[in-house]
Amino acid sequence: MKFGFKGDSTKDNWHIDPGALENYYSLSGLQPLSGEGAVRLQPTFGDAEGFREIILLEDGFQVVIGDITCHKEAYLSMKSDDSLKFHYRLEGFSGIELVEQQEDETRVSDYSMGVLLHPEGLEKHEHYLAGQHERSVTLICESSFLADLFTGIAEKLPEAMADYLTQGKAKAYRNSLPMSTDMVTAAATILSTTLKGTLRRYYIEGRALELLTLSLQACIENQANSDKPERGMSQREVERMHRTRELLEDRFINPPTIGDLARHIGLNEAKLMHDFKQLFGQTIFDFTQNLRMDEAKRLLETTERSITEVAFDVGYEYSSNFTTAFKRRFGITPSVAREAFRR
């Protein structure tokens, strides 16, 4: 497999502008951990460390895995093609601005899914913040690949996505939706799998197809909800929910009660719970629980603290309750997760 960079006649197979990539990435030697059909790149901007790995899964279907820490603030510009992209951010904040759309910079935040479609050649600015650790997965899909699998659902999608799927016409479209628990799990396993070679490639392809299916369903549901005025939310209501989310992210170890949150935000409890789930796709309890479990997994993988200590660190008095919650979230016990990471 050849990788479509400068001087390579196969570059049209790769739906990331190779010239733009070469402006701020450099090939990191022969390090394609997933074997044939992948290439790993090192960042050269913002004193960054880490990598992006581009994997060609099928004709018209690619995945990009990102694990980058940017030590200095950086602004990048690149022009992309007319493919449909789904970006899943598990960690790290950054900004995106579409120049010709004359819109303000959009902040990409934790546990969000960005949907991006635009005509070929549209310039995009990316803004990386100093000290941010980005962990992300991006799916890059051609209309022909999508049409072979999903033509039957096109009429339920937003108009721009439907036209792209059925006619191959790329209109400017951008949206940001919350990641469901299933999306978070699928993206996290793509990033963390320890499989090698061909097994890793096929494992990632399976999880990527799962992510794509979940994302299309989320777009369908969002489109259906937008057509129902009674489910519409005002800008003020949306801002209140984002403030609620920020409070929970700051205090997820010992989260405030629903009553305390409602009083702080200025809503009754029922309205608060309803609007939060509508906007972010999960209940307040599930959101804080996922944050606690993700922090626990990080502590298990990066520290030598005992499971009892980790349980206490994320707000559990009894390790047995912590083990039950962890297994419900990840499908394995904390001890197995730690051992798997060490291996």
118 within a domain of the structure (yes/no): yes
Distance between CA atoms of residues 204 and 157, nearest Å: 25
Q: What's the average model confidence in pLDDT over 163-177?
A: 87
Specify whether 272 is located in the same domain as 335: no
How large a percentage of the chain has pLDDT more than 70?
84
Tally of domains in the chain: 3
Residue 187 inside a domain? The answer is yes
Same domain, residue pair 222 and 254: no
Residue 113: both structure tokens together: 């899914």
Are 77 and 198 part of one and the same domain?
Answer: yes
Kindly state whether residue 1 falls inside one of the protein's structural domains. Answer: no
- Six-digit token pair at 273? 């719970």
User: 3-state DSSP: the chain helix, strand, coil percent, rounded to 5?
Assistant: 50, 25, 30
Residues 287 and 330: their CA atoms lie apart, in Å, by 15
Q: Are residues 192 and 110 in the same domain?
A: yes
Collect all residues with Cβ–Cβ distance below 8 Å to 304 and sequence separation of at least 6: none
The per-residue pLDDT for 16 is 47
* Whether residue 90 is found in the same domain as residue 207: yes
Tokens of 297: 């997994």
pLDDT in tens, 120-140: 877 777 888 888 888 999 999
The dihedral over CA atoms of 188, 125, 243, 157, expressed in degrees to the nearest 10, equals: -70
What is the CB neighbour count within 10 angstroms for residue 94?
21
Residue 155, token pair as written in the block:
């009429």
Q: Which residue has the higher pLDDT, 22 or 281?
A: 281
H/E segment holding residue 197: helix 197-226
Alpha helices in the chain (DSSP H): 18-24, 143-150, 159-167, 181-192, 197-226, 235-250, 258-265, 269-280, 284-302, 307-313, 319-330, 334-342
| Surface-to-core class of residue 334, CB atoms within 10 Å of its CB (0-12 exposed, 13-18 middle, 19+ buried) | buried
Kindly state whether residue 5 falls inside one of the protein's structural domains. no
Instruction: Looking at the structure, tell me whether residues 39 and 77 fall in a common domain.
Output: yes
Asked, for residue 251, whether it belongs to a domain, the answer is yes
* Residues 123 and 159 reside in one and the same domain: yes
102, pLDDT greater than 90: no
3-state secondary structure of 259: helix
* CATH code of residue 328: 1.10.10.60
Segment 13-48, tens digit of pLDDT: 444 444 444 443 443 333 334 445 677 777 777 688
Say whether 87 sits in a helix, a strand or coil: strand
57 lies in the same domain as 192: yes
Are residues 273 and 287 part of one domain? no
Q: What is the mean pLDDT of residues 140-152?
A: 91
Asked which of 18-32, 93-107, 134-148 is least confident by mean pLDDT, the reply is 18-32
Q: In angstroms, rounded to a whole number, what is the distance separating the alpha carbons of residues 62 and 208?
A: 9
In a domain, 6, yes or no: no
How high is the pLDDT of residue 4?
37
Tokens 């392809």 appear where? 205
Q: In this structure, what DSSP letter does residue 2 have?
A: -
Q: Using the structure block, give the residue that is written with the tokens 């499971």.
A: 307
Is there a domain that residue 4 lies in? Answer: no
| 157 in the same domain as 131 | yes
The H or E element spanning position 58 is strand 49-58
Same domain as 263, residue 289: no
Share of the chain above pLDDT 90, in %: 30
- pLDDT (0 to 100) of residue 87: 92
Domain end residue (candidates: 226, 253, 270):
226
Q: Which CATH number characterizes residue 45's domain?
A: 2.60.120.10
- The overall longest dimension of the chain from CA atoms, in Å, is 62
Of 248, 266, 281, which residue is a domain's last?
Answer: 281
Query: What's the pTM value of the predicted model, to 2 decimals?
Result: 0.63
Q: Is the pLDDT of residue 258 over 60?
A: yes
Identify the pLDDT of residue 25: 45
* DSSP 3-state of 123: strand
Question: Same structural domain for residues 242 and 205?
Answer: no
| Domain with 290 in it | 282-343
β partners of residue 141: 61, 84
Q: Give the pLDDT of residue 37.
A: 64
Q: Please give the average per-residue pLDDT across 99-107, as a whole number.
A: 58
88 pLDDT higher than 60: yes
* Among 156, 191, 226, residue at a domain's last position: 226
Residue labelled with tokens 């502590």: 299
